[in-house]
A and B are shown apart, each in its own frame.
Chain A
């Protein structure tokens, strides 16, 4: 009888010392666990979809000439599923803009999908705002919600401004204060904007009537 059995027969909990063989088995088991974990990671990387440039999910490159002028109406980019909006001094002075979401000048790429339940909202020039046909959510050109059942501002995509050499000289980051993507200023050296539709920044929470946190 092994000492394990002797102890088990005695009713005491088995307290067998670790033999070398047992230890090696545990080592092997650990290596197999590591292998499974690595394979799991590799399979996830394998199976994650990747998008090429120009496909929704990938990067869209927009030359500066095609960016709308400051304070003009938003410009639609259908395959990228975003509006490009150039916030100028008139837009920042808009009285309807709620105080909770301070504005900087620059370009934003706003996702065309309403943050309520997924319909594509429209630009209504007469009212100078976005209006969603499904349940009536209304947003300003800047993407801020001012009315309707949506509970947050419109989502935006990360924009990188590149110069002629292809270097990134500005990008929109989620800004700490408002949690939203900051607009990207169009400096003189900017040659194109690269809008990454694979990386989306959610709009800040906005549920008060008339807009606000």
Chain B
């Protein structure tokens, strides 16, 4: 019987010691959990960014010219963009606000044809508040390595530029490379994901651009110089206002692709477009 008393005392004493031991480590444990949860938020944010934001802002947030600004940019994290629009909160507040409620009005000096949509469920978007917070955590994690300004696109040697002469001969194009290029250049933003520009894919009774190209040049209202489907596509990319499809506005398609793309790139793009029937 006495052994029960002894063991009971021992058990209680060990609980007393155990609780004291736990108490000593609590501050550190709580700080550790806060840190690890923040890390998990970044992971969730990375996946969300990949699924929702990459197509316009580019995989590493470097932005796509004419489509969406760079987020992985020093002028965001050092507050320059905020001062430019007179925003009085912190960078984090700004990022959260833009993701949640969108950007109905562009910052002065920019002219992105698409407006940033709303993403929070509170404003009619698809994401919960905690998902918006995860995205913010991911984006803020670029702070330390953000490069200065938008990434310059690699310069193409002048001899290889596509130029604006649509009758020039192009090398053999590869549709797969063209598709990848269309994505990194952000063409998808206007031509696949929205209706800012003519849809590339077949929709209802309208055929894909690969087929439409050949028909377009035979139409009575065609104002361009192209003599074949390939030349039409060449023209649409490098001399954008030669012919504007009825129902769309001139001056929106960026006009400098002739100086930005190499001949092979353009050939790949054209091959890709021709494959969309």
Contact, chains A and B (beta carbon distance below 8 A): yes
Contact pick for A28, options B8, B19, B23, CB 8 Å: B8
Which one of A20, A21, A24, A45 has the highest number of Cβ atoms from chain B below 10 Å of its Cβ? A24
Contacts of B12 in A (CB 8 A): 28, 31-32, 34-35
Asked if B13 and A24 sit within 8 Å, CB to CB, the answer is no
Contacts of A21 in B (CB 8 A): 1-2, 5
- Is B20 positioned at the interface, with any CB of A under 8 Å from its CB? yes
Contact A24 B16 (CB under 8 A): no
User: Which of B2, B6, B8, B16 touches A34 (beta carbons < 8 Å)?
Assistant: B16
Q: Beyond A31-B9, A31-B12, A32-B12, is A24–B20 a contact (Cβ under 8 Å)?
A: no
Is the Cβ of A24 less than 8 Å from the Cβ of B2? yes
Asked if B252 CB lies within 8 Å of chain A CBs, one says no
* Cβ-neighbour of A38 out of B5, B6, B8, B16 (below 8 A): B16
Determine how close the nearest CB of chain B comes to the CB of A94; give it in whole angstroms: 34
Residues on A with C-beta less than 8 A from B19 are: 38-39, 42
What's the dominant secondary structure at chain A's contact region?
Answer: helix
Whether A28 pairs with B5 at a CB distance below 8 angstroms is yes
Report B197-224 residues with CB < 8 Å from chain A CB: none
In the complex, what residues of B have CB within 8 A of residue A45's CB? 23
The bracket for how many chain B residues form the interface is 10 to 19
With A21-B2, A34-B16, A35-B15 as known contacts, state yes or no: A42 contacts B23, CB within 8 Å: yes
**CA–CA, A42 and B8, complex, Å:** 21
Residues of A1-51 contacting chain B, CB below 8 A: 20-21, 24-25, 27-28, 31-32, 34-35, 38-39, 42, 45
Query: Are the CB atoms of A24 and B6 closer together than 8 Å?
Result: yes
Chain A neighbourhood of B6, CB < 8 A? 24
Instruction: Tell whether, in the assembled complex, residue A24 and residue B15 are in contact, meaning their CB atoms are under 8 Å apart.
Output: no
Q: Are A31 and B2 in contact (CB under 8 A)?
A: no
Q: How far is the CB of A33 from chain B (nearest CB, A)?
A: 10
Q: Complex Cα distance A20/B5, Å?
A: 11
Minimum CB distance partner of B8 in chain A: A28
Give bound CA distance, A39 to B9, whole Å. 16
Q: CA separation between A31 and B195, bound complex, in Å?
A: 76
**Which residues on the B side are within 8 Å of A24 (C-beta)?**
2, 5-6, 9
**Contact across chains for A38 and B9 when beta carbons are under 8 A apart:** no
Q: Which residue of A lies closest to B15 (CB)?
A: A35
Residue of B nearest to A33 (CB): B12
Residues of B within 8 A of A25 (CB): 5
In the complex, what residue of chain B is closest to A29 when comparing beta carbons? B9
CB of A28 within 8 A of CB of B15, answer no
Q: Quick one: CB contact mask for B1-41 with A, threshold 8 Å, 1 for yes?
A: 11001101100110110011001000000000000000000
The minimal Cβ–Cβ distance linking B15 to chain A, given in whole angstroms, is 6
Contact A31 B5 (CB under 8 A): no
How many angstroms from the CA of A28 to the CA of B4 in the assembled complex? 10
> Complex: how many Å from CA A45 to CA B24?
12
On chain A, the residues within 8 Å of B16 by CB distance are 31, 34-35, 38
Name the residue on B nearest A37 (C-beta). B16
Closest Cβ neighbor of A31 among chain B residues: B12
A45 to B19, CA, bound (A): 12
Interchain CA distance A21-B8 in the complex, whole Å:
13
Q: A21 CA to B4 CA in the complex, in Å?
A: 11
Chain A residue with Cβ nearest B30: A50
A28 and B2 in contact, given A35-B15, A42-B19, A42-B23 (Cβ under 8 angstroms):
no
- A39 CA to B20 CA in the complex, in Å? 10
Q: Which residues of B contact A27 (CB under 8 A)?
A: 5, 9
Q: Which residues of the partner chain A approach B9 to less than 8 Å between Cβ atoms?
A: 24, 27-28, 31
Residue of B1, B5, B6, B16 most packed against chain A (CB within 10 A): B5
How far apart sit A25 and B16, CA to CA, in the bound complex (Å)? 17
- Per the bound structure, the CA–CA distance linking A180 and B5 in Å amounts to 55
Which B residue sits closest to A28, measured CB to CB?
B9
Are A31 and B13 touching (Cβ within 8 A)?
Answer: yes
Q: Which residues of B contact A34 (CB under 8 A)?
A: 12, 16
Indicate with 1 or 0, residue by residue over B153-167, a CB within 8 angstroms of chain A CB atoms. Answer: 000000000000000
Q: Besides the contacts A21-B5, A25-B5, what 7 more A-B pairs have beta carbons closer than 8 Å?
A: A21-B1, A24-B5, A28-B12, A35-B12, A35-B16, A38-B19, A38-B20
| Residues on B facing A (Cβ under 8 Å) | 1-2, 5-6, 8-9, 12-13, 15-16, 19-20, 23
Q: Give 9 closest A-B pairs by Cβ, nearest first.
A: A31-B12, A28-B9, A24-B5, A31-B9, A35-B12, A31-B13, A28-B8, A35-B16, A28-B5
6 A-B contacts, Cβ less than 8 Å apart?
A24-B2, A24-B5, A31-B13, A35-B12, A35-B15, A39-B19
